[in-house]
Structure 1
Amino acid sequence: MKKIILNLAVTLDGFIEGPNGEIDWCIMDDDMDFDAFIASIDTIFYGRISYDAWGNFQPEENTSAAEKSMWQGIHAKNKFVFSSQKRQDDNARFITADIAKEVAAIKNQDGQDIWLYGGAKLIKTFINLGLIDIYKMSVHPIVLGSGKPLFEDLKERIGLTLIGSKVFKSGVVELTYEAEKTTGR
């Protein structure tokens, strides 16, 4: 069965964005091998706002070949957008109801794992429904003091088991946890 992976940058104080939506603090080192992660998935889950911003993003002409290649890899994946808006889109399937049922059906398909891209509202929904299998948090060496927190308004505790860690030359620490499944979620 496919696993849903939340692969996300977070500040040391637990924010995924600054107070004005800033993500300029995110570091992409070449030793992070993000391409290997992209190669390990075949599906991306988006919220509508994130999809509208990034789901069909095309880098500028003067962008590095490595970044262009990364975006090509991302755009080659199956895309699902969770939204209250019904919409036709040639590049994604919109899911407007029965999230848990739809996710279970997608997870049961053959193929590779699923990246829960976001945004924050969708991540919060998946957390509270217990749908995330792997939490892959890249903790960046910065403290913002305010912003959009990763974990807020949780319905219950989430037990996690550390299954991997890496330290990158920038000081980013990647922590990979497996969610302990409970019967209540």
Structure 2
Amino acid sequence: MGNTIWQCHIAMSLDGRIARADGSFDWLESYPPREFGFDALMASIDAILMGRDTYEVMRGFGEWPYGEKPTIVMTHRPLVDAPSAVETRSGDLAVVAAELEARGYARVWVEGGAQVIRGMIAAGKLDVLEMAIVPIVLGDGIPLIAPGTPELKLALKSCEPRSGGALHVIYEAVR
């Protein structure tokens, strides 16, 4: 396999939710992504891997936020009016990961959602977990780590306080 680094960069609540039950994440509005290394992430990645629900949320913002960055959306349904840099795949995430490695991508952002993250962990393809941990308990919503996810041991690389009591945490997989 290739030397691709698979990096999840995501925000979650204290109770481990990445979105409300309806998929919204209005609770993140007062936490600027730039404080959590988002610009550095975008500069360092070669491609983005995401699920269909995440794609639909990002599409809902109007202008596609990722420009011409190659984006692979895991879905069984065709996308209507997708941006030119967006392509779809379905099936086994390990096979899709191998395809992206074969393209020579050095770093891929595993954007989410929970099922894609779970699948990449199961495939042994999550190397870095970078999180904004936001001091709110949502009580319900979409969990970062979906039930049935295999065990993944992580080592803490950094933990920095940010505005509003949030933390910017970076873990690396221990293999």
TM over 0.5: yes
1:169 aligns with 2:173: no
SS in 2 for 1:50: helix
Corresponding letter in the other structure for 2:15: D
Equivalent in the alignment of 1:10? 12
Q: State the number of aligned residues.
A: 169
Moved more, 88-97 or 77-86: 88-97
Q: Distance in 2 between matches of 1:29 and 1:97?
A: 31
Counterparts of residues 144-155 of structure 1 (less than 5 Å): 144-155=138-149
- The alpha-carbon distance between structure 1 residues 77 and 9, as it changes in their structure 2 partners (threshold 3 A), is same
Structure 1: which 5+ runs fail to align? 60-67
User: Superposition RMSD on alpha carbons, in Å?
Assistant: 2.4
- The alpha-carbon distance between structure 1 residues 115 and 91, as it changes in their structure 2 partners (threshold 3 A), is same
Deviation at 1:34, TM superposition (A): 2.0
TM score, norm. by length of structure 1: 0.79
1:135 aligns with 2:129: yes
4+ runs deviating over 4 angstroms: 86-89
Q: Distance in 2 between matches of 1:117 and 1:150?
A: 11
Deviation at 1:111, TM superposition (A): 4.3
Which of residues 77, 80, 105 is equivalent to 2:72? 80
Q: Distance in 2 between matches of 1:163 and 1:9?
A: 17
SS in 2 for 1:85: coil
Structure 2: which 5+ runs fail to align? none
Q: Distance in 1 between matches of 2:34 and 2:149?
A: 37
SS in 2 for 1:157: coil
SS in 2 for 1:25: helix
Corresponding letter in the other structure for 2:5: K
Q: Distance in 2 between matches of 1:84 and 1:23?
A: 25
1:40 aligns with 2:40: no
1:50 aligns with 2:54: yes
- The alpha-carbon distance between structure 1 residues 54 and 31, as it changes in their structure 2 partners (threshold 3 A), is closer
Q: Distance in 2 between matches of 1:102 and 1:179?
A: 20
1:6-39 deviations in Å (ceiling 9; x for gaps): 1110011111112332311112165334212211
- The alpha-carbon distance between structure 1 residues 2 and 138, as it changes in their structure 2 partners (threshold 3 A), is same
Identity over aligned pairs, percent: 28
- The alpha-carbon distance between structure 1 residues 153 and 58, as it changes in their structure 2 partners (threshold 3 A), is same
Deviation at 1:4, TM superposition (A): 1.0
- The alpha-carbon distance between structure 1 residues 84 and 134, as it changes in their structure 2 partners (threshold 3 A), is same
SS in 2 for 1:175: strand
Corresponding letter in the other structure for 1:160: L
- The alpha-carbon distance between structure 1 residues 171 and 107, as it changes in their structure 2 partners (threshold 3 A), is farther
